[in-house]
């Protein structure tokens, strides 16, 4: 069994204040990494949410859409004399609307957070990684990057672009000892993913949340939502030295949804 060697290494995780980002920050800290948990939430709110992790996590204010904020977070590390070994581009938001009802401001905001935010963080972290001759860039995309789902135009576009951006980074940074990969989760049991979509289904079909949840799970090959720790474990693997040969990949952790969707066997409700 492979051991993830992260002791003493530093990971910057964006969108770490809750949900999937929290799970990823926790997993890295438990494996011995020092974690900068960035989030737009006020820093006074983050330690309470991250308290179970312990002292290996430092919560910092970070707005991935603000280049000055990103620069300040990276400079904090540089000033300490440390490098950034792992960047997890996790910060993201969701917006759902039929194409003819799409609000332009909401569209731009989704792309700004989900896509431009990852670009800005990578832009400022890469020079630090290059100086240390090693780095892992892990971006959280989505299964919606590979399939068409009604009302998800802005979110799907941002995640599909993030997958292709990952391939560009992999090509550009290959000789610098830096890998770039994307993880494409299916329905994860987090407030933004599972809970939000279940509520969306309940509204559309006029059912209770429990009924909507069962309706959704009936279309999922493994009939379950993913545990956030499953995505975190995938990120841990990609951060390991023994994953150096994996770069430019979009790894689906989706309980078989994309494969069966493409085969026409399963189609998300709604």
Nearest-angstrom CA–CA distance, 217 and 204: 16
CA distances from 49 to 9, 137, 170, 249 (A): 22, 25, 33, 31
At residue 232's C-alpha, the angle toward residues 50 and 150, to 5°, is 105
59-86 as b/e, with b when 16 or more CB fall inside 10 Å? bbebbbbeeebbeebbeebeeeebbbbb
What the block records as the tokens of 111 is 């792309």
What the block records as the tokens of 29 is 């800290």
Nearest-angstrom CA–CA distance, 211 and 147: 25
Residue 64 and residue 72 in contact, taking contact as beta carbons nearer than 8 Å: no
Q: Which of 155, 169, 187, 225 is catalytic?
A: 155
Residue 100 DSSP one-character state: G
What the block records as the tokens of 31 is 């494996």
What the block records as the tokens of 35 is 């974690």
CA distances from 226 to 102, 106, 128 (A): 29, 27, 33
CA torsion sign for 151, 155, 161, 167 is negative
Find where tokens 């799409």 sit: 102
Whether 152 is a known active-site residue: answer no
Residue 128 and residue 74 in contact, taking contact as beta carbons nearer than 8 Å: yes
Which residues are catalytic, by number? Answer: 155
């Amino acid at each position: 069994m492979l051991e993830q060697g992260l002791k003493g290494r530093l990971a910057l995780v964006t969108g770490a204040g809750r949900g999937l980002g929290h799970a990823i920050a926790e997993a890295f800290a438990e494996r011995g990494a020092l974690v900068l948990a960035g989030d737009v939430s006020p820093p006074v709110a983050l330690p309470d949410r991250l308290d179970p992790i312990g002292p290996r996590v430092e919560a910092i204010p970070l707005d991935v859409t603000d280049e000055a904020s990103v620069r300040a977070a990276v400079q904090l590390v540089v000033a300490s004399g440390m490098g950034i070994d792992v960047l997890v581009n996790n910060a993201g938001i969701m917006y759902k609307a039929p194409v003819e009802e799409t609000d332009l401001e909401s569209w731009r905001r989704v792309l700004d957070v989900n896509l431009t935010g990852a670009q800005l963080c990578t832009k400022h972290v890469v020079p630090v990684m290059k100086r240390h001759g090693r780095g892992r860039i892990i971006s959280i995309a989505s299964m919606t990057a590979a399939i068409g789902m009604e009302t998800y135009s802005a979110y799907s576009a941002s995640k599909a672009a993030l997958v292709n951006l990952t391939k560009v980074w992999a090509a550009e940074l290959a000789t610098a000892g830096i890998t770039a990969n994307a993880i494409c989760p299916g329905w994860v049991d987090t407030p933004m993913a599972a809970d939000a979509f279940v509520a969306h289904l309940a509204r559309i079909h006029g059912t209770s949340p429990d009924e909507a949840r069962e309706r959704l799970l009936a279309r999922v090959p493994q009939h379950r939502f993913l545990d956030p720790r499953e995505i975190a474990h995938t990120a841990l693997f990609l951060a390991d030295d023994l994953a150096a040969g994996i770069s430019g990949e979009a790894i689906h952790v989706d309980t078989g949804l994309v494969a069966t969707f493409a085969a026409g066997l399963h189609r998300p409700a709604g």
